[in-house]
Structure 1
């Protein structure tokens, strides 16, 4: 089985810009627990 998750807008909040550092990554509430 292969599951591919695109992070932008699926597990993290997406504002239209690329994430350049870990400090800019903010998960959507509940997404980390779901994975």
Structure 2
């Protein structure tokens, strides 16, 4: 998750967001998609 968040942190809408926040967002998206 951390490595994906590092890549996503360079995306324009996520610039300035903490890595912890991006990780939480990714985990939430994964859970909503049915990934455990």
The structure having more radius of gyration, on CA atoms, is: 1
TM-score (norm 1): 0.21
TM-score (norm 2): 0.21
